[in-house]
Chains A and B, each alone.
Chain A
């Protein structure tokens, strides 16, 4: 018997596909978080941005019949939250954490209310047909990499493209240099002709666009439905992924894959009837997050101005 047969075994295939499906939302949220944190703003509101993206994306796609319109407006919803966060943290110099938490709590209520408003209370859960898997010819037949990377919905490919794109922005473009300057040394950035307020605001909008895409992915690509609080803490897990991935797009992708794999593994474990109570399997990503925080807190470099509001012309 071919010792490598398990690679093409449908169970393994399913596991690999699921890994990617579960990786993408948290990876996108973490990428969004990266832009905010590299500019020195702690974005706790990722959870709320994702939830908004998931709901608005779903509702619009359901109403219009266009998945793409749903994706677009879902991202916009995230961006609007980014603007709100920017208003608070940049204009008002509010505590970044308090505002983020308040936004998240508001969004849980808002999406749930709006869902009932749009689809009626207690209606049978509406569905849309999610983005179908798009098998890339030839590539999709490669063992492991095929199901992992090339038998996915189109949003997955879009998300993959965002990794090198973010990397190019951060390490090759003036914008990335300006973002780094603002996150590391806002006073110096101002002397260099960079507006800290503008860079941070734009970063939060970008953050919202990407996290909103992550949310829209949940409802429009991974499932085809919307559930109350369906993000289930992914926005917070993304913050741990950021730490593990050292706020670098490639690192984030790898760290997110680790979490996606753990999540797929626990789903698979539930399906296989391993005898382990399913609750312990579902705990896995959350425990992993804590392990990551223990192992990586204080290691690696944090943007020096992270979490610190900046006020121009502060006295002395």
Chain B
């Protein structure tokens, strides 16, 4: 047996199941509570800070639009990790897949600037999807063919991908001006139309919603999704039922990579308009938390993505308004997951009480 097998104690089983909306909500409140203590430790008022955060996240059409804009990549990475979780594997490689997908899409966009939008946009999407999928598939093949633990390989592949992108942005793909590690700006025909006039929110959000709906249909209304869930829960029973476990697992890696690649694409065409070295503030990793908090359920993922996007967007407002560093939101995100997983502690306490008072 290899480490990879030891790691594969069906993450979806650990997360889904007993978890309910209420316990997720409680976990969020508890995490915000701990955050409040940290704000006090900083020397600011939690009330002011959280008010600024809320205002920055949802307070106006513009801030709401910014939050939804930020939720686009988080939804895609969250779905990417959900697909892998559901199949009983850990894809921690969304970050690298995102960078490579974004770069590939940008490259296509810059290489074929004269292509009309109806051709250029699908070409860019296809490039991001294919490159993301191939990078993810690499981890899948390493796992199934060599037994290399995907948990570690995906993280290593992240570093390799990001370094490679950094090389491209400082080398072959660097802007002509040559100052910053970034590409030229994409032409207007590569961009998405705005969704709310006067804001940056674009049609990409509709694609994120579409992805959520498609994922829901795939999980619950196709035989592929059914088999995927069975494999995630009990791979041996799936094998005994005649499923092609290897092919379905690889397809999960593949689709996971497609979704992560699309996350990068969305960020490039919707926000940055070019490929930059710091494209992602860890969307791929936050996607893990989004998937966990969303109970590996597509609609839950959407809700969690919007929540965390709000935290991140509001975080900057909070930093400006009260001086509390926006990295506080990273702590809150992590704590939310730890509290969701830790709800078993409540049962433990209750059981202990019950024992003492029979």
Contact = CB atoms under 8 A, between A and B. Distances in A.
- When A and B assemble into the complex, do they touch directly, with CB atoms less than 8 Å apart? yes
Interface of A: 42, 44, 87-88, 91-99, 101-103, 105-110, 112-113, 116-117, 121, 232-233, 236-237, 239-240, 243, 277, 279-280, 282-283, 286-287, 289-290, 293-294, 297-298, 302, 304, 306-309
Contact of A109 (B1, B288, B328): B328
Interface residues of B, number: 60
A91 B352 CA distance: 13
B7 A307 contact: yes
Given A286-B159, A306-B3, A113 B164 contact: no
Contact of A105 (B90, B288, B325): B288
A280 B163 contact: yes
A105 B333 CA distance: 8
Contacts of A112: 325, 327, 330
Interface string B226-258: 000000000000000000000000000000000
Contact of B292 (A102, A116, A287, A309): A102
A98 B147 contact: no
B62 interface: no
Contacts of B14: 94-95, 98
Interface in B129-161: 142, 146-149, 151-153, 155-157, 159-160
A293 B163 contact: no
A282 B14 CA distance: 36
A233 B9 contact: no
B260 interface: no
B335 A290 contact: no
Interface in B326-341: 327-335, 337-338, 341
Dominant SS among interface residues on chain A: helix
Given A92-B345, A94-B341, A113 B331 contact: yes
Contact of B142 (A236, A279, A290, A298): A290
Dominant SS among interface residues on chain B: helix
Contact of A98 (B11, B149, B167, B335): B11
Contact of B1 (A88, A98, A298): A298
Contacts of B3: 42, 239, 243, 297, 302, 306-307
Nearest to B43: A117
A237 B152 CA distance: 8
B304 to A, nearest CB: 14
A106 B342 CA distance: 14
B289 A105 contact: yes
Interface string B257-289: 000000000000000000000000010011011
Contacts of A307: 3, 5-9
B4 interface: yes
8 contacts: A44-B151, A95-B341, A105-B334, A109-B327, A233-B156, A239-B3, A286-B157, A287-B156
A92 B344 contact: yes
A277 B173 CA distance: 14
A37 B232 CA distance: 24
Contacts of B8: 307
Contacts of B348: 91-92
B146 A294 contact: yes
Contact of B7 (A42, A99, A106, A283): A42
Contacts of B160: 283, 286-287
